[in-house]
Structure 1
Amino acid sequence: MSTRLAGKNALVTGATSNIGRAIAEAFAAEGAHVVVSGRSAERGKEVVDGIRAAGGRADFVRTDLDGTAAASKALAEEAAQVLGGRVDVLVNNAGVYPGDTTAGTDEQTFDQVYAVNVKAPFFLTAAVAPAMAAAGGGSIINLGSWIARLGIPIGALYSSTKGAMETLTRAWAAEFGPHGVRVNAISPGVVQRLAPGEVHPAEAMMKGTPAGRVGTPDAIAHAAVYLAADESAFVHGAVLDVDGGRTTVAVIAA
């Protein structure tokens, strides 16, 4: 087991599957004590059991981040208690994705997506960041998305929430950075965990990119470890693209 995050306590939201799970597992493998947060106790137990079986430290805290300040505050308090009094690293990963058109989106869905994707992490950060500063510092990592900067015909609602999180990253870096709390974001590209030999329709969205394929949750987890670790101490307000070049590079095939 590596020790890049030894002695650090981490809270990862939406950590029972996909990117959140990969981040929680990577943090634990690097020596962090991780609170795995999510709605499903069954999936949470599976993640925690796996981390512990590999020699890591993890606990599950069930929560439904519905956007209320009370839910976010309760998670911050319970996570700090489980972690022995402090959270050193917060990963705002939990989110929902309704892949619909603008005209096909009703008001209830609009409010729910903004509640989960923006309001919940806003108030969770409001609860955690000041405590981090009082304890001497910390790192907050937000999850953005490649479609926050490269428009596609569907998913306008989701992409706007991720644009909001990337904007909040810069604002929070200015607000909390002088107090020792670094705030950065990761902008994942097309990410899927595929079985060997499996072909996914999303592969088409990676044609004409340097990577030429979809990414894995582990690729995002590696970036999160970097932003959580002391080696990124001089990185503030950055949005790290981990997207196979999707938003920055066009490869012209011969």
Structure 2
Amino acid sequence: MSGRLRNKTALVTGSTSNIGQAIAEAFAAEGAHVVVSGRNAERGAQVVAGIRAAGGRADFLAADLDGSPEASRDLAARARQTLGGRIDILVNNAGVYPAPGTAATDEKTFDHVYAVNVKAPFFLTAAIAPEMAAAGGGAIINLGSWIARLAVPVGALYSSTKGAMETLTRAWAAEFGPQGVRVNAVSPGVVLPPSPPGTEPHPGEVMMKGTPAGRVGTPDAVARAVVWLAGDEASFVHGTVVDVDGGRTGVAVVAA
């Protein structure tokens, strides 16, 4: 790696597995001091141990981002202290994905998904962005989803929360950009960890047939895009949603 994030500090929510873990590992490999955050302390410790074994800097902070302002503010305060008084980069990655049909979605599920996927990053950004601005600037990267713009028959609740995050990305870019805080988003397509040889094909692979990539993506592909948005190379990028989806949303899919 090139050390593009050397001397930077970063908080990555939901980073004990999958895309969040890949982002935390990529940040650390580029020189950042990373706070790995999530609910599972055992997985968090494993991610931190792996980063440190590779020569990176990381610490784990347990957090249950339930949508309450208090939970978000508490994580922001603890992360700032752990990172030596400042947070240069925030990645709002944590989310939940129950995907019942609309008629089968009860109010409790609705409220929970919006609390975790929208309210928690909203209040976390509110707690961090002003201090970023006061310290001279920073970068915030939100995680969207391809199904926010290309609908599928199930998952209306989840996709609506990701649509909200993409809208917030543009609104926050307008609000905080003039203060030196860049806000952008990455919209992953069908992304799966590498499967062991002989594993049955995942149902998500069908969705990628006929796309330019012709296959599902991996967490590393998303992480590389997030690293770019977090670094100085993207200093002129504000309010943008970067599609990392193998061409699924932007290119006509050919039946295969």
Tell me the TM-score range normalised by the shorter chain: over 0.9
Name the counterpart of 2:68: 68
* Aligned partner letter, 1:141: I
Structure 1 length as normaliser, TM-score?
A: 0.98
> Hey, what's the Cα distance between the residues in 2 that align with 1:253 and 1:109?
35
1:237 aligns with 2:243: no
Indicate the larger mover: 188-197 or 24-33: 188-197
Say whether the 8 Å CA contact 1:210–1:250 is kept in structure 2. Answer: no
> Hey, what's the Cα distance between the residues in 1 that align with 2:186 and 2:228?
11
> Hey, what's the Cα distance between the residues in 2 that align with 1:50 and 1:184?
28
- 181, 185, 203: which one pairs with 1:201? 203
> Hey, what's the Cα distance between the residues in 2 that align with 1:93 and 1:38?
10
Quote how far apart the aligned CAs of 1:251 are: 4.4
What SS does structure 2 have at the residue aligned with 1:103?
A: helix
Spell out the pairing of 1:1-254 with structure 2 (5 A cutoff).
Answer: 1-197=1-197, 198=199, 199-252=201-254
**Cα distance change on mapping 1:99 and 1:253 into 2, 3 Å:** closer
Q: What stretches of structure 1 of length at least 5 have no aligned partner?
A: none
Quote how far apart the aligned CAs of 1:212 are: 0.6
Say whether the 8 Å CA contact 2:209–2:255 is kept in structure 1. Answer: no
Percent identity (aligned): 77
* Aligned partner letter, 1:237: G
> Hey, what's the Cα distance between the residues in 2 that align with 1:251 and 1:102?
26
What SS does structure 2 have at the residue aligned with 1:127?
A: helix
Quote how far apart the aligned CAs of 1:2 are: 2.8
Quote how far apart the aligned CAs of 1:200 are: 1.4
> Hey, what's the Cα distance between the residues in 2 that align with 1:47 and 1:101?
34
> Hey, what's the Cα distance between the residues in 2 that align with 1:102 and 1:251?
26
> Hey, what's the Cα distance between the residues in 2 that align with 1:233 and 1:225?
12
The CA RMSD over aligned residues, in Å, is 1.0
What SS does structure 1 have at the residue aligned with 2:105?
A: coil
Quote how far apart the aligned CAs of 1:91 are: 0.1
What SS does structure 2 have at the residue aligned with 1:182?
A: strand
Say whether the 8 Å CA contact 1:72–1:127 is kept in structure 2. Answer: yes
Quote how far apart the aligned CAs of 1:233 are: 0.1
Quote how far apart the aligned CAs of 1:253 are: 6.2
> Hey, what's the Cα distance between the residues in 2 that align with 1:226 and 1:136?
20
- Give a deviation string over 1:19-70, Cα, whole Å, max 9, x none: 0000000000000000000001100000000000000000000000000000
> Hey, what's the Cα distance between the residues in 2 that align with 1:171 and 1:125?
12
* Aligned partner letter, 1:200: H
Q: What stretches of structure 2 of length at least 5 have no aligned partner?
A: none
Quote how far apart the aligned CAs of 1:252 are: 3.2
> Hey, what's the Cα distance between the residues in 2 that align with 1:163 and 1:186?
12
